[in-house]
Chain A
């Protein structure tokens, strides 16, 4: 059973939420984030290259231009691999646990699995960001020493 809905995030980008139910004991939620746009990519590249060209006219050293190209390429690769998230998945398995997977734009996937025994509660928390209040979903974990949550896990990025 699949279900798809569309929302928008705090910056105005378009998000898509997909819900799948594999069995009565297993549910999966998949959230797709807005893609990287051609406009922003072009803007950043032009800024970096204009700055490099400005430096070149000052210093007359052509290494600056090659360095600028390298920096742009490496920066783009690093951004795609470490920062830009393509979609996130939340898999809930009855009496086993909750698994959160983040897939980055370069294909890298990072997974965290929390066992059911460690989960104390799932709550919606409020935070003040700039001039508005945003809500985010988080999981409270049990502290082994005292029966209160020690770490709050934020499953879905803003």
Chain B
């Protein structure tokens, strides 16, 4: 197998010294982490490596020598470097060398047989792979297929070749603490030599995060304790809370905030990303809500809205009355049963009259209520949108009632028709066996059954038409509410922090690596540059999506049509945990 040496690009301009890193025998590859410069005492180097090994569980050893021929050709240095091979024994022993001023490198890997035989041992082909140490340190590999039965903490040296390289660099933080500019006994060169990075703001924020988190966690626990108290579990209140989507949204946000400000540290990078995503999502939500609030107040839209609300409700009610008058006549040329038509029409007209009276009763309080509702936008745009959806549901409550009446009537009729149709043919539904069986009826049973069947059949068009009209209206309202919920879900679940990270620091989220062949001369070892292949945006969204309330329609189109045909009630936006119909 060809030997591979992973060499950090930051050490390419370092002075001569020893190569320190990890040897992975399964892939025949050596990962170089740092270069130790002259002068050094071998005992101290060995001590440092033992310390690092204990701290990070990475098998760091001396891998070979590095020679950067900048000044006069040193024959003595060459022999000295070969002599070092005897002190630090490692199989195979790498000797990397770079010519002065040119880009040509040479690399030899020898298997040291013993102090007596020099350079007669086998030499293998070596491939040099350059990598950017800082980027590999910070990045996180996302494997393409993660099996459900494999735990996350499973990746050790048994992982695939490149994951082992990433793993090694990431866990060797202890080696990167001291630098060649420090005063310690051993002088190392690695990525920190180019300038130790730190930011005052980040350090201050980390310092302040502890007490702030504690304070906010206490406040949030108080709020959740208050909301979980027994008063809210009594029947009318708990029923209303479960129906309003605003309460769901508030509860969701409270859970998220509790998770963000909890004092437990995140166990793995995925949890950290999730916390960061939630925080950014909450902040964006609040910012959008405040923008909405300022826009509403600037144009005094709340007053205008309150003034316009009553006329709009009146207008809707008048349109519904016209619709019912039309249905009571001869709608679209169809001939209705006069008596049933009048009964149903008057029933629904009375309901509309009641509704208009309620609206007029509420009209003095509308502006106050709307103003307070507008204030709730400071809690976030999603809360404002949920309140809007709830207001629409409340204002179109009469349409919902009409739909339920029409659907129940239609459903009863359909069931009656189907069972009488079976009687007409001489069959019966066997409840025990759950199937249709033949049955012999008496003559008077057959007579009454057929009579009822004919009555129901002739009354069918009228009921069906009312059902159709009110179902369409209800579906319209449901579609509008559904669009609002979709928008709320989008704001809730979009992982903005991950997307921002992918945009600004693409090496942090890695889908894999890519190689580029650098200039090659015959006789020299092959040199490749390993770069990080960032994750595509679709996979970022897919991997880091935040869980939402999960209010997705549970029916497929087929079952929806079936329910509509049989007159069963549809509840498209069922929250999780509610009883089914």
Contact = CB atoms under 8 A, between A and B. Distances in A.
A115 B517 contact: no
B4 A96 contact: yes
A22 B517 contact: yes
B526 interface: yes
8 contacts: A22-B520, A25-B125, A93-B515, A93-B528, A96-B127, A96-B129, A113-B514, A116-B161
Interface string B1-41: 11010000000000000000000000110000000000000
A99 interface: yes
A147 interface: no
Given A115-B161, A118-B160, A99 B520 contact: no
Q: How large is the interface on B (under 10, 10 to 19, 20 to 34, 35 or more residues)?
A: 20 to 34
Interface in A63-118: 91, 93-96, 99, 101, 111-113, 115-118
A91 B533 contact: no
B514 A95 contact: no
Contacts of B526: 22-23, 25-26
A111 B514 contact: yes
B125 A113 contact: no
A22 B517 CA distance: 8
Contacts of A93: 127, 515, 528
B59 interface: no
Contacts of A116: 161
A141 to B, nearest CB: 9
A124 interface: no
A58 interface: no
A94 to B, nearest CB: 5
Interface of B: 1-2, 4, 27-28, 125, 127, 129, 145, 147, 160-162, 512-515, 517, 520, 526, 528, 533
Nearest to B533: A111
Given A22-B526, A25-B2, A115-B162, A91 B517 contact: yes
B2 A95 contact: yes
Contacts of A26: 127, 517, 526, 528
Nearest to B514: A111
Q: What are the 8 closest A-B residue pairs judged by CB atoms, nearest first?
A: A111-B514, A23-B526, A113-B512, A95-B1, A22-B520, A25-B2, A95-B2, A94-B2
B23 to A, nearest CB: 15
B147 A145 contact: yes
Contacts of A112: 512, 533
A13 interface: no
Nearest to B150: A144
Contacts of A91: 515, 517
Contacts of B533: 111-113
A117 B161 contact: yes
Interface string A25-59: 11010000000000000000000000000000000
Contacts of A96: 4, 127, 129, 161, 515
Contacts of B2: 25, 94-95
Contacts of A95: 1-2, 4, 27-28
A28 B514 contact: no
Nearest to A28: B517
Contacts of A118: 160
Interface centre among A26, A96, A115 (most CB of B within 10 A): A96
Contacts of A101: 514
Interface string A135-157: 00000000011000000000000
A112 B515 CA distance: 10
Nearest to B513: A113
Given A96-B127, A115-B161, 19 more contacts: A22-B517, A22-B520, A22-B526, A23-B520, A24-B125, A25-B526, A26-B127, A26-B517, A26-B528, A99-B514, A111-B514, A111-B533, A112-B533, A113-B512, A113-B514, A113-B515, A118-B160, A144-B145, A144-B147
A113 B1 CA distance: 20
A148 to B, nearest CB: 15
A146 to B, nearest CB: 12
A99 B517 CA distance: 12
Nearest to B146: A144
A129 to B, nearest CB: 27
A69 to B, nearest CB: 28
B325 to A, nearest CB: 37
